[in-house]
Chain A
Amino acid sequence: MLPLDYATKKSYKILIYRSTIKYGKILKIEIPPLPENYKVITYKDLPGRNFIKLEEYKIPVLAKDKVHYIGEPILLLVGPKIAELKLLYKQINVIYENIEISEPEIFYTKSVNIGTSEVVKDVIENYKSLTGYINTPSWNIDSKFPHGSFSKRDSDMLTNYVSTIWTSKLTENIQAITEYDEKKINIVSPVITGEYEHSLLENFTSAIFTSLAANILKKNVLFAPTSEDHFLYSSQIYGLSFLWKINFNDSNIIQNIEINIKMDCGAYPIFVEEKALRIIHGITSFYKHRNIKITVTAYRSFNPPSGISEDLYQSDALFFSEILNNKIIAESGADQLKWRLDNLLKKGYKNSSNSVIRREIPLYDMLKNIGILSDFSRKNSSIKLSNNRKSSIIHHSIKRGIGISVGYSGNNNISNKKDFSSSSITIQLEKNNKVDVYGNFLISNLEIYNEWMSVIISILDVKEDDITFFSTNEYNTPNFESKNINIITPLIKQCCEDIKSRRFKDPLPLKSIKSVRRKPGNVWDPEKWKGSPYKTSSFAACAVEVEIDKRKLIPIIKEIWLEVEVGKILNKNSILKTLNRDINRTIKWLMESKPHMENGKWDRNDFYNRTFIYAKPVIHIYINESIKGKTSAKGIGTLVRNTLPSAFIQGVSQALSAKINSFPVSRDKICMELKKDEV
């Protein structure tokens, strides 16, 4: 069931009147006389405040006097028949005054020096320096469950059917906007998986729209977004643009690296700091280079607001870091695999935040393993050889390339925001040996339930029947950290151990409350860039073989070798499934071109006739159970997205024997590179 499946036949529908210009003032809104039962809602009709509040960011519900992007909601048309609403829509006239778009507004910058900061200065005369730029692709946040919402009025209760798990925040927002009694607002999320909270902003806005209309009109209201709403006007993740510079000293060793990153946040930014910190950490995470100066500049643009995704630019950062490595390797003429193996961080080294790594990182073994499994060295050198023999008479109608990469997926909120990381677990041991577990978690699958059970049973030595879970069935946070596995499991463990230690000293019932808190010695401080930011990390290594048919001019993935390290395996099948699905999505991310705008209008033809990507590569997945088997389970998170793209791009650039800096790679570009190659 989807949220909209609860809608009744007679419920009222919503049509959004959207802005047609990028940036301007609203001078006048002309609304035609309305038939009975129909209503146009403007910002004046809002009972409460006119913005959605997430953390410290504010997003207007309906535009007041200015619009900031094409598609910004100005009016809500509500009525029983959608056809009538469409007629009304045509009669509404909004007069704008265009405002000239000046320089984009910069509202956040963060600069970090990794390694000893003194050397970064330009004291040493550079022997040689390399510069370049890389743009990562932007993408639509593709949720498995389409956003849309249905608000139902039962006597006094206002029930909203919408797919979100951050219900507390949504209730708070609805209360503030509609001034409805908070106790009477009920949110039902029919599909609870916890995995797909990508389109958070869309779900929030649609739930707010329907509850607002339901409150004003005293009717049941549903909002079903069209595909245009979904693809053109919803929030997106915009690509980053990286500008980099590497300085070498006279013996051809890297002296320092400077990276400038620009981040487009759309018209209304959200979670900017979190994104920026993840980028910085991603770039500097597991290779040895030091003396890096990274600056992230976030600016406002006149596009739909940039949303959140599971990885929050972590994948873009890792993507960039691997491409940068590739450039360094190409410059030094070293072997791809060997260079990577030599330069990976290991136990005993210092990580980017200057603390010593105490545990063994499995990346080295995994990379080596993938290198052997995919026969990387042989393929790589043979492709290199054939590329070097350009003048030979052999004609290749297909060009090949192979790439290899490593990545990780960190699980935590790195910006240390209060809003995010408040989860707690309470465990109570009763007199009759019964155990009650309270907390804000979601039991989304049986495996995680069994895992928690086994933890409690093994530590407290109780019977399975005696354990009861009382879940509030909501998260207090948006879900981008595989919370069930990474946060809740350790909390349960801590509670149980606490109770165990007091068990025969104190009288029953025993109660233990644990919430997310860091040890004082290892505090993560994003300001000083100290400590270790992620609670747990899972790792992956990947090799990709790419083919470019000269007739098709599309890079096609032939074969993928992927090794992941996920701690304890709970359900192998579901891991395989998730990985396979993620591979498909990642390929889409890299290859799907976005509909483009011209003169402030979307090219409709372009939008409806986007290419369909039917990539069916041969996939080999190897799951690496933790080294010692002691580590608990970790989330897969965005491992595929963090590793596969860079390997893919390496493959493409090898096949074309050219540098590729922006994505998706167009046919024009491929053709240009291949023409150089023609006999």
Chain B
Amino acid sequence: MIKKGTRFYTPDTLSELKEIIYKEQEVKLLAGGTSLFRKINGDTLVLPGVIILLENIPELTKENRTERYFEFGSMITIQNIIDNCKRNFAPVLIDALEKNAPFPVRNISTIGAAIANNDIKSDLLPLFYVFNVKVEVINLRDKKIKARWESLTQYLSTQDNRGLHLITRVRIPLINPAYYQYFKTGFKYNLFNEISFAAIADLEKGNISSLSMAFNINNKKIIRTKDIDAELIGKHIPIGLKSREALIQTFNDNLNRIEGLEDYQKFQMIQIILHFLEAF
């Protein structure tokens, strides 16, 4: 009798990976594995039938640096990025990466999985959004290996009906914004039931010329506040006390349109934006 249990594969190349996927029906790609374990916890793990470990594929651990951007293979760990790019990246990015998890977790969690994981949306996603991060995606059920660069917005909006796919590379632009903030509620490293927020802005004579903000609510939902962004362009930073009330009103109107937000979450979000605009 064949023992029932999970089968593990560790392919060495991308084409090997494709072969395995061609043979097997239900597979789960495992990069770092931290989120899998956090989700299916309890004392006995309920693992899917086939798990493919990606760590041996050399294409996924390459790093490429240019003047305008850095490209990371999706299997590069977060800690690796912190160690290697501390000098090159904007401090806000490093700060966010460090706040992501305690370092034994950072040692195994990978940048690709932080984006691809749909069950627990990473705290880092708002930041990647505002930094306009790009990802290279391969559709694994296709016969040919065809990689495509996509923006994060594009990727996340089509993630659910994409089928089995693999992020091979992540491109982080080297921008140094004039004005930025990354904020996470709760105590250090807390993951669930918290809000994370990222914003970058360019200023011209103290007035906002471009602005991009994003929220992650409870690691379940990413909210981009485009309407609020548009509303705020041209405003002076720090905002005056007189315009405060009117702003709160517009924020409220905008946030009320979004479904599934608790009252206190809206309050928190408004306070976070105000805090950002008040230039503390």
Contacts and interface: CB of A to CB of B under 8 A. Distances in A.
B9 interface: no
A159 B127 CA distance: 58
A668 B43 contact: no
Contacts of B263: 668, 671
B157 interface: no
A668 B42 CA distance: 29
Contact of A550 (B186, B262, B271): B271
Contacts of B78: none
A612 interface: yes
Interface stretch (A452-460, A536-544, A603-611, A655-663): A603-611
A605 B272 CA distance: 27
Given A614-B187, A615-B187, A679 B275 contact: no
A615 B185 CA distance: 14
A613 interface: yes
Contacts of B44: 86
Contact of A613 (B38, B42, B43, B187): B187
A228 interface: yes
A142 to B, nearest CB: 18
A397 B275 contact: yes
A614 B42 contact: no
A397 B190 contact: no
Contact of A395 (B187, B241, B264): B241
Contact of A675 (B187, B193, B267): B267
Nearest to A674: B267
A552 B194 CA distance: 9
B244 A679 contact: yes
B274 interface: yes
B190 A671 contact: no
B244 A551 contact: no
Contacts of A554: 185-187
Contacts of B280: 397
A611 B193 contact: yes
Contacts of A329: none
B193 A609 contact: yes
A226 interface: yes
Contact of A679 (B245, B262, B267): B245
Interface in B235-280: 241, 244-245, 248, 262-264, 267-268, 271-272, 274-275, 278, 280
Interface string A603-636: 0110011011111000000000000000000000
B191 interface: yes
Q: Which of B38, B183, B262, B267 has the most C-beta atoms of chain A within 10 angstroms of its own C-beta? A: B267
B198 to A, nearest CB: 14
Contact of B191 (A226, A395, A609, A615): A609
B41 interface: yes
A611 B185 contact: no
A553 interface: yes
Interface in B1-55: 38, 41-44
A551 B183 contact: yes
A551 B275 contact: yes
B267 A608 contact: no
Nearest to A667: B264
B187 A611 contact: yes
**For this complex, into which size category does the number of interface residues on chain B fall?**
20 to 34
A393 interface: yes
Interface residues of A, number: 28
B272 A551 contact: yes
B190 A611 contact: yes
Contacts of A612: 187-190
Nearest to B120: A609
A392 to B, nearest CB: 10
A86 B192 CA distance: 30
A553 B185 contact: yes
Contact of A614 (B189, B245, B272, B278): B189
Q: Which of A228, A608, A667, A678 has the most C-beta atoms of chain B within 10 angstroms of its own C-beta? A: A667
A201 to B, nearest CB: 22
A490 to B, nearest CB: 44
Nearest to A229: B43
Contact of B267 (A228, A397, A671): A671
Interface string A550-571: 1111100000000000000000
Contact of B264 (A393, A553, A613): A553
Interface string B177-188: 000000101111
A605 B244 CA distance: 39
B214 to A, nearest CB: 16
B192 A393 contact: no
B192 to A, nearest CB: 4
Contacts of A397: 271, 274-275, 278, 280
Contacts of A678: 248
B265 to A, nearest CB: 9
Nearest to B188: A614
Given A551-B268, A671-B267, A679-B244, A228 B43 contact: yes
B264 A671 contact: yes
A608 B120 CA distance: 14
Q: Which of B44, B191, B268 has the most C-beta atoms of chain A within 10 angstroms of its own C-beta? A: B268
B42 A604 contact: yes
A395 B274 CA distance: 10
Contacts of A614: 187-189
B244 to A, nearest CB: 7
A88 to B, nearest CB: 13
Interface in A640-679: 667-668, 670-671, 674-675, 678-679
A323 to B, nearest CB: 24
B185 A551 contact: yes
B47 to A, nearest CB: 14
Contacts of B275: 397, 550-551
Interface string A184-225: 000000000000000000000000000000000000000000
Contacts of B191: 609
Interface string B47-66: 00000000000000000000
Contacts of A674: 267
A596 to B, nearest CB: 13
Contacts of A553: 185, 264, 267-268
A609 B189 contact: no
Contacts of B183: 551
A86 B44 CA distance: 9
Q: Which of A551, A553, A612, A679 has the most C-beta atoms of chain B within 10 angstroms of its own C-beta? A: A551
Interface string B202-214: 0000000000000
Contacts of B42: 228, 604, 608
Contacts of B41: 604, 608
A554 B193 CA distance: 12
B244 A395 contact: yes
B185 A552 contact: yes
A92 to B, nearest CB: 16
A666 to B, nearest CB: 8
B162 to A, nearest CB: 26
Nearest to A608: B41
A542 to B, nearest CB: 22
A613 B271 CA distance: 22
Nearest to B102: A612
Contacts of B267: 550, 553, 671, 674-675
Given A226-B43, A228-B43, A611-B186, 12 more contacts: A397-B275, A550-B268, A551-B183, A551-B268, A553-B268, A604-B42, A605-B192, A608-B42, A615-B187, A668-B262, A670-B264, A671-B267
13 contacts: A397-B278, A550-B268, A550-B275, A551-B183, A551-B271, A552-B185, A553-B267, A553-B268, A554-B186, A554-B187, A612-B188, A674-B267, A678-B248
Interface of B: 38, 41-44, 183, 185-193, 241, 244-245, 248, 262-264, 267-268, 271-272, 274-275, 278, 280
Closest 8 CB pairs of A and B: A671-B264, A609-B192, A614-B187, A550-B271, A614-B188, A551-B271, A552-B185, A667-B264
